[in-house]
Chain A
């Protein structure tokens, strides 16, 4: 054991020294364009996080009425609306939503493509037939697909924050960034040369974003009495985007907790078994 101990303690000291030196050097060297998004409270954060059903339903409403006119979500299917761990609409509600949309199908017996009402198995129809069409309609910018967007956005945490995040299980860079972006539109500061067709956003890297402020107060009518503000819309649609990107988050965290308990108990049993086996042997 003495060898182990010396190995361990001598491991930590130099690492701490190195960490400190590098950490102090970091801010001086780093050159970041945009401020860090504020870390919001999300119901799905942490080891016992779950989605807030009502929030996902509201977020879906915002997506459907506002975002989806420009943004696609090609991996998101109507059936997902009714699956466990999501907004958990009833199957009938999900069917009703699906039937509001015309989906291209075919070819029929004459060889022609045709439109029919959506079914649960269909995926969310994209607002544009292809990326070129999307760009042409949006001043050359491509509105990104929502399918994995909440996991595809991040910001650099830096040292030592990125190590602390391992312990605190912080995984919400994407949602925090998206929420910050949605509420981050403001007047450009004096002297900032905003390119034609761009808008100033505090949190967008480079600050010049092609997407105009997408939503304003009161634009979407909520039925559950939630505030109809940009801030609330933004939180709701961000939660919805996180669910679209990670639909099995709840199952993952639930099973994870069970696995953790099992492993810790098993490790404890193994530890005592190991002690018994080695009892008569000095080592």
Chain B
């Protein structure tokens, strides 16, 4: 079409062409505008169909879970569900805490705390992993950072978790100590509503 229009080059068309890039004419402009309009329309139409796959409003609203800690004895680890995922709540013994504190940061595979309640670059010390002002409580998302399996508690060489899928091991602060998992178990956003109750999410 473009070629035909250019060879046609009547007066009006050449004037318009001068304001456009070389070789375009008013006829081309019409075709380009129509084509561009169609492309914009198609793109706009795609958006609702992509957007509908997102978590819907009812799922987004179901984002908090409350846990009563008074029922969790020392040394006991419970699993609660938050946003459809397991969350481990562990009432650690002094021995577990001492072990975690004794570990040098340089010995860790992942030196970052991965704590949603702290800055993104906070170091993975035990203070930064455990509950604020409640150091015996450890709350982590129970999903291995390798490929999403649920690790087994009180297992492995580091007295934390052992993932049966590919052998990753975590210590008593939920920090990864043996691969292939690349990151520490994530600490979800949560806060202490009282000394015996936390609200996750």
Contacts and interface: CB of A to CB of B under 8 A. Distances in A.
* Touch test A–B (CB under 8 Å): yes
Interface of A: 77, 79, 83, 109, 119-121, 262-263, 265-266, 269-270, 272-273, 276
Contacts of B62: 121
| The 7 residue pairs across chains A and B that have the minimum distance between CB atoms | A121-B61, A269-B34, A273-B34, A121-B62, A266-B37, A79-B61, A269-B37
Nearest to A263: B41
Given A79-B57, A121-B61, A272 B30 contact: yes
B19 interface: no
B71 A266 contact: no
Contacts of A263: 41
B58 A109 contact: no
Contacts of B27: 276
A266 B38 contact: yes
Interface string B89-120: 00000000000000000000000000000000
Contacts of A79: 57, 61
Nearest to B36: A269
Size class of the B contact interface (CB-based, 8 Å) = 10 to 19
A121 B58 contact: yes
B58 A265 contact: no
A119 B58 CA distance: 12
Contacts of A120: 61
B71 A77 contact: no
A140 B41 CA distance: 54
A266 B34 CA distance: 7
A121 B63 CA distance: 8
A265 B37 contact: yes
30 contacts: A77-B61, A79-B57, A79-B61, A109-B71, A119-B64, A121-B58, A121-B61, A121-B63, A121-B64, A262-B37, A262-B40, A262-B41, A262-B44, A263-B41, A265-B37, A266-B34, A266-B37, A266-B38, A266-B41, A269-B30, A269-B33, A269-B34, A269-B37, A270-B34, A272-B30, A273-B30, A273-B31, A273-B34, A276-B27, A276-B31
B22 to A, nearest CB: 21
A272 B38 CA distance: 14
Nearest to A255: B48
A102 to B, nearest CB: 15
Contacts of A269: 30, 33-34, 37
